[in-house]
Structure 1
């Protein structure tokens, strides 16, 4: 059974997120049920948080540029009313493996402490950006960044048969196995893309949550084809995360010097 934080926990996380840079946290889609009968509504939260604990976000078209469900019947926009929670609540057409897609608008972030920017770069494997920032002659008092999230989630409609697909995100993670129908005893293969091309030697972070709510985090690296094989277990929920960091040209002192692009993929492995 999926466990959801109570109101106090949600309030605590919301306050924590407001007090800290959001770019230090993951964004993910979490369906309430991952395997549904045909004709049942798909209901899913969008969350921002750390270690698979986070604040839920309501449906707000001003905050996303894409919100869709992709099935064998095609691409279906997610529609709702402003403020709806969960953000996704609709009955999609089609059957088999469905991919939920959500892309946020661009957000801005200011690091007022150099150490926090450096720690973020180290955590997400961008240590090169620390030296590059200084080489560019940019100050350490303020670091300006732009960021966006590119999230996917896999759910099974009916028999769940089928495969994930590339959906044309600026950066995305593609599942190369079906978590609801395939034998995953040898691992779960994913492919990380940026501008449609494989990301070689990229860090992949795997967040795993068991039925008791215990969270484990493991790091992997992609091969020269952008692929990584991650370990999964039955009855566990997973978030796969990979981040691109790229330089931006600076015309004014307050222009963002960096842009981070966050790709995520969520799914559950049945018992």
Structure 2
């Protein structure tokens, strides 16, 4: 499994720590809000209850609602029972959708969005790259003499939320075909503090990717690690409550693209029980 690093202080320097103890205080004041996550009305819905599904963009579990825009949605569904069902809703509304919880087994909410473009000044773009562990992009920009050029990026959102049921279901450990996907290798809704995950890009393991875990109860603290050669990460989540796992993968856009870079944001939210 991958090793962890702790980032502390205003300088943002990194020190190596043990992989299961990488609890840390994140640097405050990120350059731009770049977390996107699913926030259901309940992570443990009762059978037959109506779950409202909020989409959020921000940082450290503080975010603005993302209203539903059907033209930007490629996939917005819930996997429960033996079926994958579309999540219904009206455009320009928060929450973005509603569905009735089956509630018997672990369920999975899935969101996949189309591309959106952002242009950032050079310094802010480099800060954003560094904060997401994308130092190889910083190095490539410098190697090509682009370090003073604004960052033109098209990003795609890939989010999942795990809902606990009366019985645990290993279906949530199976990849569901998002372009960039955080796959828990066990149902994360129980009491187990150690969570094994795998990062997949286009269905293939992604090595060397930065992965960050954030607790909703202590949002300025988190865990930062890198995926190993098999795209796997083992994290120790030291407290119960709602967690978000997030990662960003970036690559240079194609020759005929109107942007320089393409990225995929992946997130996984769930509620871990106490020990």
Give the TM-score taking structure 1 as reference length: 0.82
Aligned twin of 2:109: 100
Q: Does 2:153 correspond to 1:142?
A: no
Paired with 1:214 and 1:221, the residues of 2 have a C-alpha distance of 20
Q: Does 2:44 correspond to 1:35?
A: yes
How far is 1:96 from its partner? 0.7
**Which of 206, 211, 225 is 2:213 aligned to?**
206
Q: Does 2:188 correspond to 1:179?
A: yes
Aligned twin of 1:226: 231
How far is 1:168 from its partner? 0.2
DSSP 3-state at the match of 1:90: strand
How far is 1:65 from its partner? 1.1
Q: Does 2:187 correspond to 1:168?
A: no
List runs of 5+ in structure 1 lacking aligned partners: 1-19
Paired with 1:202 and 1:65, the residues of 2 have a C-alpha distance of 25
Aligned twin of 2:240: 235
Aligned Cα root-mean-square deviation (Å): 2.2
Q: Does 2:262 correspond to 1:259?
A: yes
DSSP 3-state at the match of 2:94: coil
Paired with 1:158 and 1:43, the residues of 2 have a C-alpha distance of 19
Are the counterparts in 2 of residues 150 and 263 from structure 1 also a CA contact under 8 Å? Answer: yes
How far is 1:214 from its partner? 5.0
1:34-59, Cα deviation, whole Å (9 max, x unpaired): 11222222222100001110001222
Aligned twin of 1:90: 99
How far is 1:75 from its partner? 1.2
Aligned twin of 1:153: 161
Are the counterparts in 2 of residues 146 and 260 from structure 1 also a CA contact under 8 Å? Answer: yes
- Structure 1: which 4+ aligned runs deviate by more than 2 Å? 92-95, 133-143, 157-163, 249-252
DSSP 3-state at the match of 1:157: coil
Are the counterparts in 1 of residues 212 and 245 from structure 2 also a CA contact under 8 Å? Answer: yes
How far is 1:152 from its partner? 0.4
**Which of 101, 115, 132 is 1:124 aligned to?**
132
**Which of 26, 33, 44 is 2:35 aligned to?**
26
How far is 1:25 from its partner? 1.4
How far is 1:163 from its partner? 3.5
Aligned twin of 1:70: 79
Paired with 1:230 and 1:99, the residues of 2 have a C-alpha distance of 21
Q: 1:108 to 1:74 in 2, by over 3 A?
A: same
